[in-house]
Structure 1
Amino acid sequence: MKSSTSVLLTLALSGVLTVTGACGDKNDNGDVAATAGAASTSAVASPEADAHTELTKAFDKLTRVTVAYTTTTESGAAGTSKLTGFSDPATKASSGSMTITAQAQQITAEVVVVGTDLYLKLGLPIPGVDPKKWMYVDGSKTSLSKLGLGNPDDPANVKGLADAIVTVERTGTSAFKGTIDMTKRNLPAASAVLIRQMGDAAKSVPFEATVGAEGYVTSLTVKTPGVGQVPATTATSTFSDFGKPVSISKPASTEVQPAPAALLAQFA
């Protein structure tokens, strides 16, 4: 069994403790719009339906532009993590810096993903690894999902979040709360195993969200119950700098080394 430090590292890198996205996307002019139009001709849409539609559009809009994000995760005795980074959906690229505190240890990590190329630095002593160089993983040969990483163009896992929403209601002009079914998600392999251990508790996880004046989701808080190896967790993510230029590039070849098998095994 993995230590709580390893479990937290896997969870943090995979994004399961950040934003709980689901598989599939909704088109602004597709099913959602058609349903709303049909409802207007027969009856007034319910407040919950209106809230769901607005939140769906806000998450969809968020995944279509460059964005800066920060996620802070509190997992009680298991530890805490903070992830900050940038995402560029057009180039399928993302970069992030993470600090994980667990068992009186502090681990730092940096990640750059461009397409299927992954570059990683860990602030841990690893035999045969130069701590000043990036460890390279060829994602075309080793699935990024198996490494515990989600889509490079969606590192915060917000794509298709609406598909996992069970209940939602408006709590203010731009504020929402509800529950999500985390089993209705396209999760990285390492995360999916842990979510299955949660059983029915994974089908009704509380969340709160806010939408800014530009129509993008600006914050999301998810409270995951503790079951098995999954620690009770409160993860708060914020999003900003929508559509602003982002430069994410691969490290120079002289700064790169192969990732050791021992590290890859942590995410198998």
Structure 2
Amino acid sequence: MKSTRAALLAVVLSGALTVTAACGDKKDNESSAPASGASTSVQVSPSADAKTELADAFKKVSGVPLAYTATTETGTVSSAKLTGSSDPANKANSGKMTITAQSQNIDAEVIVVGTDLYLKMGLPLPGVDPKKWMYIDGSKTSLSKLGLNPDDPANIKGINDALVTVEKTGAGAYKGTLDLTKRNLPASSAALIQQMGAAAKSVPFEASVGADGYLTSMKMTMPAAGQVPATSSVSTFSDFGKPVTITKPAAAEVQPAPAALLAQFA
């Protein structure tokens, strides 16, 4: 039971840090999605500064179907890798996650459609059929603890509010700092940021923007927060505007999530 509890904590910890690093849920104005598979050139004014260029790249990604990867290294405590796709128009997200904590590897699959979350974990849980999806009613819990926001599947909205300094270091390459205290974050993430102290106001990042103006990657180094060691995260984005189909599992493949798991998302 102790290892199970630790593994569940790793899921929550990795998710909380991922959503914090990936920018939270405060809303920017959304850009319209391009036609399926289309690549639209961005006309950037020669006088536009680096901060404006990067802000435009964040806005362009917001609201567009895409594929993503997100990796997180939390000191020597845990690591996580999430790969998946998102369909913001339908508030849908699907992904596969591998979490490593206390020498344990845990595989998980996630489907989010609106506020309905379905989860499979490669972890023995009492009374749970490992072949079925566990259902979590996101309207009664905090989906952000898993790093998944149905209103912002790519976790990219609102980052412009936190930009402090931005420097262009090459073609499509940027670096700078973020003030995470300026974010509108869930209580769990906000508490972590508060524990970072003054360091939360100057978090370093690196970002890449493709020739078509979409954000393609972002790397961040988060300072230590209380018992949580310093954390590094890397997110990549691709397949902008390509059709994404994410559906709920059939009823016969679903079971209620156990109370112990639901408590982690309270």
Equivalent-residue separation in structure 1 for 2:84 and 2:30 (angstroms): 26
Unpaired segments ≥5 residues, structure 1: 29-39
Q: Secondary structure at the match of 1:97?
A: strand
Equivalent residue for 1:9?
11
Equivalent-residue separation in structure 2 for 1:17 and 1:138 (angstroms): 22
Match of 1:259 among 251, 257, 260: 257
Q: Does 1:169 align with 2:167?
A: yes
User: Aligned pair count?
Assistant: 249
Equivalent-residue separation in structure 1 for 2:6 and 2:185 (angstroms): 20
The change in CA–CA distance for 1:176 and 1:166 in structure 2 (over 3 A counts) is same
Equivalent residue for 1:231?
229
TM-score (norm 1): 0.85
Equivalent residue for 2:38?
none
Report the AA paired with residue 166 of structure 2.
V
Report the AA paired with residue 115 of structure 2.
T
1:156 Cα shift? 3.5
Match of 1:182 among 177, 180, 187: 180
Q: Among the aligned pairs, what percent are the same residue? A: 65
Q: Secondary structure at the match of 1:229?
A: coil
The change in CA–CA distance for 1:176 and 1:207 in structure 2 (over 3 A counts) is same
1:240 Cα shift? 0.5
Equivalent-residue separation in structure 1 for 2:131 and 2:187 (angstroms): 29
Equivalent-residue separation in structure 2 for 1:64 and 1:156 (angstroms): 8
Equivalent-residue separation in structure 2 for 1:160 and 1:77 (angstroms): 30
Report the AA paired with residue 206 of structure 1.
P
TM-score (norm 2): 0.86
CA deviations 1:209-234 (Å, max 9, x no partner) are: 01001110001000111231222111
The change in CA–CA distance for 1:175 and 1:251 in structure 2 (over 3 A counts) is same
Equivalent-residue separation in structure 1 for 2:214 and 2:53 (angstroms): 10
CA deviations 1:176-207 (Å, max 9, x no partner) are: 00011112223233222222221222111100
Contact 1:168–1:177, Cα closer than 8 Å, also in 2: yes
1:122 Cα shift? 1.3
Equivalent residue for 1:20?
23
Please give the residue correspondences for 1:171-210 in structure 2 after superposition, counting only pairs within 5 Å: 171-210=169-208
Report the AA paired with residue 28 of structure 2.
D
Unpaired segments ≥5 residues, structure 2: 32-44
Equivalent-residue separation in structure 2 for 1:260 and 1:199 (angstroms): 36
Match of 2:155 among 144, 154, 157: 157
Equivalent residue for 1:57?
56
Equivalent-residue separation in structure 1 for 2:177 and 2:263 (angstroms): 34
